[in-house]
Every structure is written in structure tokens, then in C-alpha cells.
Amino acid sequence: MRKVGILLGCVVIGLLVVGMADGQQQPKKKFGGFGGFGGGGGGFANNPVALLQNEQVKKELEVSEDQLEKLPAALDKAVAEVLNENQLKRFKQIQLQTRGNSVFTDPKVTAVLKISDEQVENIKSILQEAGKERQEIFKEAQGDFKAAGEKAAALDKETKEKVQGVLSADQRKQWKQMIGAEFKLEQQGFGGFGNFKKKQKKDAE
């Protein structure tokens, strides 16, 4: 278990290094609380947390679910020790922006915005329906991922409007204050191929 503890510490440090070097490349989602960290994206090479969540790795290291649940808090604490007050505030705002519509079902966010259980259920229904539509979009894509991506983007916009419609005017106002000025992350292509093509174009100029 001592080995696991050491590894978790290394994971925190590794994620911070990767996050500061590559944080502008792709949003991370779902792995955590209010302004909390997200998993997914970037692959195992760029995301030690995702690697640690892999079933084979978990089995090899005998990592418990309890240990994994402690990671978000450990990561938040590590980031807070690196960034200054203003940086940390803005960082949390950006995190909230990049977590998508499901952020409104996060217990910590619903508590701050005073979102009722009924509103949460309505939001979940909207997200579930959007999820089914998204699956259909890519199922019918037939290899045309550009067109599918455009349809998915339109669906995301429509879903956002529906979710925002569930919130009251006061809740929407408070949410805007929580996330600060809009921040747009540059989207990365599959496996980083999109950025590679941009670099080729830039080198050719």
C-alpha cells in the first residue's frame, strides 16, 4: 500500500505538469466536484489519472475505489499550492465552463445555485435525450465525421439552451458570475491529429 501512496503522489505531480503544458489543448470532463477535475481526453500518455483508472492498472497496483475517490481532492489541493489566488479563481471558472451541461447535476453546483430536485431531474432528462440523439448522429455519419461534428455542435448548443431554460433568471445570473468571462478552448483533433495538421500548415508558410 505504501507503493500505491507514492504512486498517487506522482500522479498528482504528473497531472499538474501535463495540465500546465497541455491544458489549452483539450477540456477534461467528469471526475469531480465543484470546479473539480475531469477525466477523459488526451489518452493514457497524457493523463495519468485515466491510466490509474484503467482496470488492468488498478488490478496490478491493487488500487481501491476509496483511493480513487480521494484523487479529486488531492488534485485540487495540489493545484491550489501552485497557482496564486487570481489564477486559481480563474482556473476554477474555466473548469466549470468546460464541464458541459452535466455540471448542473453536480451536488455542489446545485447547492450553490439552489437548483431543486425537480430541476435536476428535468436537466437529466434533457441530457439523456441529447445523449441518444448524439449516438444516432455518429451512427448515421457513415465516415463523414465533419458533418457529424457540425450536427453534434448544433445539438450541444440546443441542449445548452434547453438546460438554461430550466434554470430561473436568478440562477442563470449567478451562474454567469460563477464562470466569469467566456473562455474558448481550442479543440484538438482525433489523437491530436488536428493540431499536427495545423503545425504542418504553419511550417509550410
Secondary structure string (H, E, C) spanning the chain: CHHHHHHHHHHHHHHHHHHHHHCCCCCCECCCCCCCCCECCCHHHHCHHHHHHCHHHHHHHCCCHHHHHCHHHHHHHHHHHHCCHHHHHHHHHHHHHHCCHHHHHCHHHHHHHCCCHHHHHHHHHHHHHHHHHHHHHHHCCCCCHHHHHHHHHHHHHHHHHHHHHHCCHHHHHHHHHHHCCCCCCCCCCHHHHHHHHHHHHHHHC
| Res. 92: pLDDT tops 80 | yes
Give the chain's domain count: 1
* 194 pLDDT above the threshold of 90: no
Closest CA to 10 of 105, 106, 59, 78: 78
Residue 139 lies in a domain: no
**pLDDT of 25:** 37
Residue 55 lies in a domain: yes
**Residue at 114 is within a domain:** no
Tell me the three cell numbers of residue 28.
477534461
In a domain, 149, yes or no: no
Does residue 24 carry a pLDDT above 50? no
Residue with grid cell 465552463, as numbered in its chain? 97
- Confidence check: pLDDT of 125 > 90: yes
In which band, very low, low, confident or very high, does the pLDDT at 44 lie, cut at 50, 70 and 90? low
- Whether the model pTM is above 0.75: no
User: What are 29's strand-pairing partners?
Assistant: 39
Provide mean pLDDT across the span 179-192: 72
- Contact indicator for 194, 188 with CB cutoff of 8 Å: yes
pLDDT-above-70 percentage for the chain: 68
Q: Domain for residue 133, yes or no?
A: no
Question: What range defines the domain where residue 70 resides?
Answer: 1-99+182-192
Q: How confident is the model at residue 185 (pLDDT cuts 50, 70, 90)?
A: confident
Q: 124 in a domain, yes or no?
A: no
Mean pLDDT of 44-49: 64
Question: Is residue 112 included in any domain, yes or no?
Answer: no
| pLDDT computed for residue 83 by the predictor | 94
- With respect to residue 33, please indicate whether it lies within any of the assigned structural domains: yes
Least confident of 57-71, 102-116, 188-202: 188-202
